[in-house]
Amino acid sequence: MNRTGGILLAGVLTLSAAGSAAAQDTLPYGLEPGKPYAGTTLNVMSVVTPQFTGLALRDGEFEEMTGITVNWTEIPFVGLQEKVSSVGVAADGSFDVVNYLDSWGPPNARWLMPIDDLMARDGISMDRYPAAFAKSAQFDGKTLGFPLRAHAQLFFYRKDIFDELGLEAPKTWDDVIAAGKAIRESGKDIEPLALYYHNDGNRQNLFIWLNFLWAAGADLFDENMKPAWNSEAGLQATKDYIGLHTEDKITHPGSIQFVEQDARVSFQQGKAAMIPIWWWAYSPMINDEQSVLKPEQVAFTGMPSYEGKTVTYAISMPFSISDYSKHKEAAWEFLKWLSNADLEKRNAIEREVAGTPISNNVVTHIANLQDPEVNAANAGIQEAAWASLQNSDIMPQIAEWSEIGDVLSAAIAEAAAGGDVEQLMNDAADRAEKILKRAGYY
């Protein structure tokens, strides 16, 4: 196994029972027997994450079963979008399988191979994933890949501080504000809430805003694809989201410059008492190599409700086969292996693979989200994520979303810096309407 762009890994890999099955020429996961693609080398592009490191460390069992070798190129998230786009523009077939953020799928769909016929042939259904995750890997009625890294939002807080001050886990955003003010008034050397309002180019400052918008009964677009975030309900929801920083003043002062990672690190460093963020963040929060916090200090609950309703934003990073690949059949074999629920379960339970420590709690199969063993190994966070996903949605799956999302992200950042919320959101709607009109929506 070779990996470029990351760490060169070597050593003896422990094979699962699947390896024994290979010797009998009866393969699991719908893999083709007889090693018809033996000798093929696949090049895979993925984001840097312990989850995929754990999978890469296990790919010796895939090679044992199929004779297919896998080279992994790991790209940090901040550079991944540019790399994915450049591969598409250049019609570059050097990568057989690519990993991307779901909202980048529509503008790149022209070169991501639909897999519906292959799934039907091999008895694979997207019903194995929560609805929001499945939707995130589909575009224009076609399935473009599997959402192998996908996230639900949860609300994390410092249990020790809440216990000391007699505070309950927040159930509403009003509860968050009340807790934040209590923490502020306690005189403790810690900021109440870490948020991320910065316009970072990846539209991260929309992630929590969408909870407010959707719970208010507003939406991004109406039935005619006209911008709808500047409705009366949408504007009030936006003012309340921005107001956490500008009016209630319960946020970390750095929130105006924070991207998601900055907010997470501030929590891990003990500089913030609350943070709404993806569930995967729990692992680094209690990892003594990355955090000053102990597991008993960190608690999590569902995302707070707004106006009596909770609607969360879900996200995924699918793996897809490049239409420029010369090894599509072998790439499909790899996706079948990579996406199997057994492998995913092991990757969320085992804390060491081939001598390398791995800390990962991400699973995307419904079966694993509800699996007692997976939950027991991860403090029950999958069960909490499953509950969060019962009422979740994703970013619009339209090719123009990146451009429109950038307009909205800039407006949110300017509003958090003290700009006029209503004017900024109305201006963003006007600009978005021009983009959609140019694209032929009306």
Same domain membership, residue 179 and residue 112: no
* pLDDT the model gives residue 166: 98
Would 395 be classed as within a structural domain?
A: no
Parts of the chain with a pLDDT under 50: 1-24
Contact 405, 203 (CB under 8 A): yes
Q: How many CB atoms lie within 10 A of CB 318?
A: 26
Evaluated on CA atoms 20, 21, 22, 23, the torsion sign reads positive
Distance (Å, whole) CA 385 – CA 129: 13
Q: 333 and 427: one domain?
A: no
Helices (H), 278-351: 282-285, 328-338, 341-349
Looking at residue 3, its pLDDT comes to: 43
Whether 79 and 123 share a structural domain: yes
Taking the C-alpha atoms of residue 408 and residue 203, their distance in angstroms, rounded to an integer, is 8
Could you tell me if residue 17 is inside a domain?
Answer: yes
Q: Considering the domain boundaries, does residue 394 fall inside one?
A: no
Write down the pLDDT at residue 267.
98
- Same domain, yes or no, for 37 and 169? no
Q: What is the CATH number of the domain that holds 406?
A: 3.40.190.10
Tell me if 297 is assigned to some domain. yes
DSSP class of residue 226 equals: -
39, 112: one domain:
yes
Examine the domain organization and report whether 215 and 109 are in the same domain.
Answer: no
Q: Is residue 338 part of a domain?
A: yes
**Are 87 and 129 part of one and the same domain?**
yes
Q: Specify burial of residue 177 (Cβ count, 10 A radius: 0-12, 13-18, 19+).
A: buried
d(CA 182, CA 186): 6
Q: Give dist(CA 407, CA 208) in Å, integer.
A: 17
Total domains present in the chain: 2
Predicted pLDDT of residue 317: 96
Give pLDDT, residue 25: 65
Q: What integer pLDDT is reported at residue 14 of this predicted model? A: 38
Q: Are residues 241 and 378 in the same domain?
A: no
Report the pLDDT value the prediction gives residue 227, as an integer from 0 to 100. Answer: 97
Same domain (yes/no): 304, 326 = no
The last residue of a domain, from among 365, 388, 411:
388
| Locus of tokens 């916090």 | 293
Map residue 442 onto helix, strand or coil: coil
Domain ranges, residue 213: 153-313+400-438
269 and 160, same domain (yes or no): yes
Q: Are residues 209 and 101 in the same domain?
A: no
Q: Is residue 393 part of a domain?
A: no
Q: Is 379 found in the same domain as 415?
A: no
